[in-house]
Amino acid sequence: MTKPVQAAPVKMGRIRLKRRAAILAAAEQEFACNGFKGTSTSAIAERAGLAKAQVHYYFGSKEDLYQEVLATIMNQWNLTLEDITADDEPAEVLSRYVRAKMHFSRERPELSKIFASEVLRGAPILQTYLGKQQYEWVQSRAAVIRAWVEQGKMRRIDPVQLIIYLWALTQHYADFNTQVLAVMGKDCLTDEEYGELTDQLIDMVLVGCGIATRDTSTHVR
Amino acid sequence: MTKPVQAAPVKMGRIRLKRRAAILAAAEQEFACNGFKGTSTSAIAERAGLAKAQVHYYFGSKEDLYQEVLATIMNQWNLTLEDITADDEPAEVLSRYVRAKMHFSRERPELSKIFASEVLRGAPILQTYLGKQQYEWVQSRAAVIRAWVEQGKMRRIDPVQLIIYLWALTQHYADFNTQVLAVMGKDCLTDEEYGELTDQLIDMVLVGCGIATRDTSTHVR
DNA sequence: GTCTATATTTAGATAGAC
DNA sequence: GTCTATCTAAATATAGAC
């Protein structure tokens, strides 16, 4: 018999909870910068203010720790765009989704970066998830988008590609934040500036989908 | 006196050229998968069919080798969109650029991935390049885009963000190719299928910019 | 239950043989 | 000029002390 995928909900002591939280937080930073292979358990331990061996005591192997971090990410990931129907308005659903993803990119860029580096290396850990759960997730949303198109609520766009566009655009602001800041000539962005970027992106997406909300898309020749 | 940034154009022998080429090719694959820190010189050597020490003999340190790979990427990168003026047609320039970047994403995804992983970790090697050369590159293109907007050739969009959108969208097909294939339910894409994706993306970009080329953007309400 | 001390492997790099 | 043999440091992981 193999170990259950989901860890048993054992009630943990105070020290254990505290140490695990510190290690997980440190691991997110390290994995985000250097990926799975490039991250050492000693770097995680140092950042967490602990001894290297403590990381192994609380999480077993480096891969076990990595898997827990990845599981956290994938859970938080698809909280939005959860329940949409053909009756919803694409303008509202799409702007809400872009806003939520952009918010996530600003608040937890490390999580987006860890996912990115996992996919960069060919997603050895996540490939089953991508090919099954995420595939299904995309198909069900794509069906709704297709219905919107049939109803004339938006332009005819390949729904799967549209979802990929949304991921590419929103996650880019987390994964490539260093480059974004550099080419914008800034050291950091205020909440206001980031909100402005978000609005501009939503505008671009809606116009691209043929959903004009205000005085946009007036330059069509 | 320090070493010159550009290596002196020493004429190399046959063996040296051959070994260096094999190492560089292997290094691209390894760096693309595991990033700078996650890649070992022994993994590169093994993939190149050489001994680990030979890598150090021909390239000195791992970082020297990495810098050469990065330099190759940045040179190939900005070959397109080189000379554009306010007199050009945005529809033509933008579709040409997207097509070129998509072609690059298909032919050399490893190079895009290496750039991505460098930026993911905060671009310690490239930050000067990003803040100076690439910043200037973006500014000069942004000026042209601004001129297009003033001439009414396209919708009013923040030009810097538009460039970022183009990068995000096109590079995503290289960096996240594993995920793209997974959610599309395919093992690989034929040239035809990839050409179709490229056309769809160009369509999305042009419509988003308020440049209707054919029967697109007709669903504007 | 927690952490220190230690074992084993692999990393990057170089001195010296060919 | 090229490559083999070797050195030192850092990696993952665990056995055993507290």
Q: What is the mean pLDDT of residues A33-41?
A: 98
Window 54-73 of chain A: CB closer than 7 A to strand C: 54, 57
Looking at residue B134, what DSSP letter applies? I
- The pLDDT tens digits of the residues spanning A167-178 come to 999 999 999 999
C-alpha span between B18 and B21 (Å, rounded): 5
Domains of chain A, each with CATH number or no CATH:
14-65 (1.10.10.60), 78-208 (1.10.357.10)
Q: Is A168 within 8 Å of B169 when comparing Cβ atoms?
A: yes
Q: Is the pLDDT of residue B104 over 60?
A: yes
Question: Are the C-beta atoms of residues B113 and B32 closer than 8 Å to each other?
Answer: yes
Those residues whose C-beta lies under 8 Å from the C-beta of residue A184, and which sit 6 or more positions away, are: B160
Q: Is A197 within 8 Å of B161 when comparing Cβ atoms?
A: yes
Which residue of B166, B178, B209 to mutate against A (max A Cβ within 10 Å)? B178
pTM of the predicted model as reported, rounded to 2 decimal places: 0.94
Burial of A116 (0-12, 13-18, 19+ CB in 10 A): buried
Burial of B100 (0-12, 13-18, 19+ CB in 10 A): middle
Q: Read off the amino acid at residue A30.
A: E
Residue B126: how many other CB atoms lie within 10 Å: 21
Strand D close to B183 by CB, under 7 A: no
- The pLDDT tens digits of the residues spanning B147-198 come to 999 999 999 999 999 999 999 999 999 999 999 999 999 999 999 999 999 9
C-alpha span between B20 and B17 (Å, rounded): 5
- In strand D, which positions have an atom below 7 A from any protein CB? 1-6, 10-15
Q: How confident is the model at residue A38 (pLDDT cuts 50, 70, 90)?
A: very high
Q: What is the mean pLDDT of residues B26-52?
A: 98
C-alpha span between B15 and B171 (Å, rounded): 35
Question: Are the C-beta atoms of residues B135 and B52 closer than 8 Å to each other?
Answer: no
Q: At what angle do helices B159-175 and A109-120 cross, to 10 degrees?
A: 40
Q: Is B127 within 8 Å of A182 when comparing Cβ atoms?
A: yes
Question: Are the C-beta atoms of residues B169 and A168 closer than 8 Å to each other?
Answer: yes
User: Counting every residue, how long is chain A?
Assistant: 221
**B122 contact residues in A (CB cutoff 8 A):** 33, 178
Strand D close to B13 by CB, under 7 A: yes
Q: How confident is the model at residue B81 (pLDDT cuts 50, 70, 90)?
A: confident
Residue A123 — left, alpha, or beta (φ > 0 → left; ψ -120 to 50 → alpha)? left
C-alpha span between B51 and B32 (Å, rounded): 21
Interface membership of A146 toward B (CB under 8 Å): no
Q: How far is the CA of A53 from the C1' of C7 (A)?
A: 13
* pLDDT confidence of residue A79: 73
Q: Read off the amino acid at residue B40.
A: S
Those residues whose C-beta lies under 8 Å from the C-beta of residue A94, and which sit 6 or more positions away, are: A166, A202, A205, A206, A209, A211
Across all strands, nucleotide nearest A41 (CA–C1'): D12
Interface membership of A81 toward B (CB under 8 Å): no
B155, B164, B172 member nearest A207 (Cβ): B155
Q: Is A183 within 8 Å of B201 when comparing Cβ atoms?
A: no
Looking at residue B7, what DSSP letter applies? P
Both tokens of residue A187?
Answer: 């050291």
- The pLDDT tens digits of the residues spanning A71-81 come to 999 988 867 77
Both tokens of residue A96?
Answer: 């809400």
Interface A-B, measured as beta-carbon pairs within 8 A, has a size of 198
- In strand C, which positions have an atom below 7 A from any protein CB? 1-6, 10-15
C-alpha span between B90 and B96 (Å, rounded): 10
Residue A1: how many other CB atoms lie within 10 Å: 3
Residue B45: how many other CB atoms lie within 10 Å: 21
- The pLDDT tens digits of the residues spanning A95-148 come to 999 999 999 999 999 999 999 999 999 999 999 999 999 999 999 999 999 999
Residue A133: how many other CB atoms lie within 10 Å: 13
Q: How confident is the model at residue A82 (pLDDT cuts 50, 70, 90)?
A: confident
Q: At what angle do helices B159-175 and B191-208 cross, to 10 degrees?
A: 160
Q: Report which secondary-structure segment, H or E, holds B198.
A: helix B191-208
Q: Is the pLDDT of residue B217 over 70?
A: no
Q: Is B182 within 8 Å of A33 when comparing Cβ atoms?
A: no
B122, B158, B210 member nearest A178 (Cβ): B122
* pLDDT confidence of residue A2: 36
* pLDDT confidence of residue B96: 94
* pLDDT confidence of residue B182: 98
**A138 contact residues in B (CB cutoff 8 A):** 183
Question: Are the C-beta atoms of residues A157 and B105 closer than 8 Å to each other?
Answer: no
B38, B210, B221 member nearest A35 (Cβ): B38
Burial of B80 (0-12, 13-18, 19+ CB in 10 A): middle
